[in-house]
Structure 1
Amino acid sequence: MAPTFDELASAKYVLLTTFRKDSTPVPTPLWVAAEDNRLFVWTETNSYKVKRIKRDPRVTIAVCGKRGQPDGETVRASAEVLGEEGTNYVRGLIAKKYGATGWLLVKGSLLRRGRRGTIGVAITLDDSNVTNEN
């Protein structure tokens, strides 16, 4: 059974799959935070997943373990690379959800990479394949 929005939002890790030009799937485990019926992830600005999302916003997402092993079905979604303000917002959401560890990683990344070294991504689930538990 496909995970609900709430299951994805409360997961410690999600498996975000982007697609190469030849449609080859490229899965990546990431931390996730949620607000206003959207999921948010945070990644390196120059990563290939960001380049793939900019080219093709279609993605899939699933609950997974730390090493990316899926824990159930995937759902279709679309992703949007955020600007500076949105990225700052995502950093705050990640730091809040993951506590001291999240805060330390966000601050450490800012020191190491600067503000433009990482970027936020908003993920909107396709209405046809997931529901809220509310």
Structure 2
Amino acid sequence: MSLGDLAHAKYVLLTTFRKDGSAVPTPLWAAPDGDGLVVWTVTDSYKVKRIRRNPEVTVAACDARGNPKGAAIAGRATILDAAGTERARSAISRKYGIVGWLAMKGSLLRRGKSGTIGIVVSAPDAP
């Protein structure tokens, strides 16, 4: 299975790593982005802080509660700029239809544009 295949799962389990190396899995929505996938989260979340320190992550298909539905794939996460975050919002809105669109609009009303951020997960050897 590739990252592109995972983008078709309803939820993905993004696992980031603490300073001590312990894993922190989080179920998220994801959408395809070229050969990788994009996810969207709150800007000041701990997962964003962990990714800034260590971009190595794993992703796996999962259910809404974060129970894995397959093997995890290693990846490299990159925090997106404002334009990239807007691209991630659009991709997620397209994939999840009216529910995704409502989630994006609700988030913009609640947090503003800078309150959420996009993350792209690519293969570990990708630039």
Correspondence for 1:115: 113
Aligned-pair CA distance for 1:4 = 2.8
Q: 1:92 aligns with which of 83, 90, 101?
A: 90
Q: Deviations over 1:69-106 (max 9, x none)?
A: 00011011000000111001100000000000000000
What is the CA distance between 1:35 and its match in structure 2?
A: 2.1
Partner residue in 2 for 1:130: none
How many correspondences in the alignment? 125
Normalising by structure 2, we get a TM-score of 0.95
1:39-64 Cα deviation digits (max 9, x unpaired): 10000000000000000000000000
* RMSD (Å) for aligned C-alpha atoms: 1.0
- The alpha-carbon deviation at position 126 of structure 1 amounts to 3.3
Gaps (5+ residues) in structure 1?
Answer: 128-134
Report Cα offsets for 1:13-35 as digits up to 9, x if no partner: 00000000000100000000012
Match of 2:46 in 1: 48
Q: 3-state DSSP class of the match of 1:71?
A: coil
CA drift of 1:5 comes to 3.1
Tell me the TM-score normalized by structure 1.
0.90
Equivalent AA in structure 2 for residue 31 of structure 1: W
| CA apart distance, 1:109 | 0.1
Letter in 2 for 1:97: K
Q: Which aligned pairs between 1:53-64 and structure 2 lie closer than 5 A? A: 53-64=51-62
Structure 2: state its 5+ residue gaps.
none
Find the aligned partners of 2:52 and 2:4 in 1 and give their Cα distance: 26
Letter in 2 for 1:95: S
Secondary structure of the residue that 2:40 maps to in structure 1?
strand
Task: Kindly indicate whether residue 70 of structure 2 is the aligned counterpart of residue 72 of structure 1.
Answer: yes
Question: Partners of 2:86 and 2:21 in 1: how far apart?
Answer: 31
